[in-house]
A and B are shown apart, each in its own frame.
Chain A
């Protein structure tokens, strides 16, 4: 089940590992994505802090860490094909995997219904 942030990131939780990306709404608002700058594996991230940068054709935007933890994997395929974020934002266009400091913190994020209400 996916959880969402007010900053338009999604997370998919598997034990204490969260896969993170940006939502379909976010990619649509950004338009053509031409570059994604991801953190190094091993980086500690803080909930709400800068985690990555998405360069759309028009401008650069920050992507924030939805929860605190350590980056354990990044989606290297985005360096060759950043447009996957446009075409499959919830799938092949994922950004990073985070080993969460506290997986229960995910409970506080929005479910799909709440997120849909936010963007409607």
Chain B
């Protein structure tokens, strides 16, 4: 790592330091890895109560065409995202992906319809490339990167903690998006997140971010959690991390994200194709891909990590795939991994061994999510 790299700071940077966070560079930002209680305790806090994550490093992009309606914007977005966005109602959010011409994944993102405009939340490391991609393909609208804090409140107590500040938020269901007034300040919230738990992602002006997290953390059993717990929570929830579990060389079907392409955009659908990367995406939705992403668990003990090679026997010389994410699973009770494998092997019962420092560890295929989703539907 270069000592000269100047890391950006989120509006909560000083607050993290005051809370005793261990900080590290991530996607160009100096971010909290964990706080004094440690990442495992933060993971359990999120599963049993609620945890607050600073995700202000993520890109928030607003699309507005001045018509007072999001309709035309959503229609244009369908040319670069293979989702059903034309039917995305005001006050709702949906998952989507940007693809290159070859059907490789450029980023994954959330699209929220706020009625008069659209907001996207994209990965921190991709935001500049995404801004250029959007600007190059959408016309007659303003495309603005918002400089606002983004705070994720996640866990079974998230609903009560947020409703204590914003009573109207109690009416929101999973993937709803809404604007609220909090102490005279406009904030936006979606009932979503990336932990598998119920919760919210809350966008607010930088100046009120610290007041907001302090108000949320005043609720019983709500605490702070860093990026390490965020990683273990999303992995247990079976959720991909861009740049790790998939990248521009990975297709939607090879990433096992085919569920994100609805029937209406597939072969034979009313709005079939019509998006960049459609040729490969539709062909693979029909016929399958050479590779796929699956879940597997390891025996208690050594956790196989990202980059670990996979073999079909204890003696085999040639790796057939690799682990893209691997960590202990505190809520699962054993290490959890995501693997990219040839499709034929993935769906067979061929043994899978992870090679950890020369020792072969037998993995067991497991359905994802490893830990059940508990969204508020």
Interface residue ranges, A against B (CB under 8 Å):
29, 31-32, 34-35, 37, 53, 55, 57-60
Contacts and interface: CB of A to CB of B under 8 A. Distances in A.
Which applies to chain B's interface (DSSP): helix, strand, loop or mixed?
mixed
B302 A32 contact: no
Contact of A35 (B38, B40, B302): B302
Given A29-B22, A57-B232, A60-B305, 11 more contacts: A31-B38, A31-B228, A32-B40, A34-B40, A34-B328, A35-B302, A37-B357, A55-B302, A55-B303, A57-B327, A57-B328
Interface extent on B, as a size class? 10 to 19
Interface in B299-356: 301-303, 305, 327-328
Contacts, number: 35
Contacts of B328: 34, 57
Nearest to B34: A31
A35 B335 CA distance: 11
Nearest to B301: A35
Contact of A58 (B228, B302, B357): B228
A34 B228 CA distance: 14
Interface string B39-61: 11000000000000000000000
A37 B301 CA distance: 10
Interface string B10-45: 000000000000100000000001100011100000
B302 A57 contact: no
Contact of A53 (B33, B231, B232, B357): B357
Contacts of A58: 33, 39, 228, 231, 327
Contacts of A29: 22
Contacts of A37: 302, 357
A41 to B, nearest CB: 18
B69 to A, nearest CB: 46
A31 B228 CA distance: 10
Interface in B126-168: none
A74 B232 CA distance: 30
21 contacts: A29-B22, A31-B22, A31-B38, A31-B39, A31-B228, A32-B38, A32-B39, A32-B40, A34-B40, A34-B328, A35-B302, A37-B302, A53-B357, A55-B302, A57-B38, A57-B39, A57-B232, A58-B39, A58-B327, A59-B305, A60-B305
Contacts of B39: 31-32, 57-58
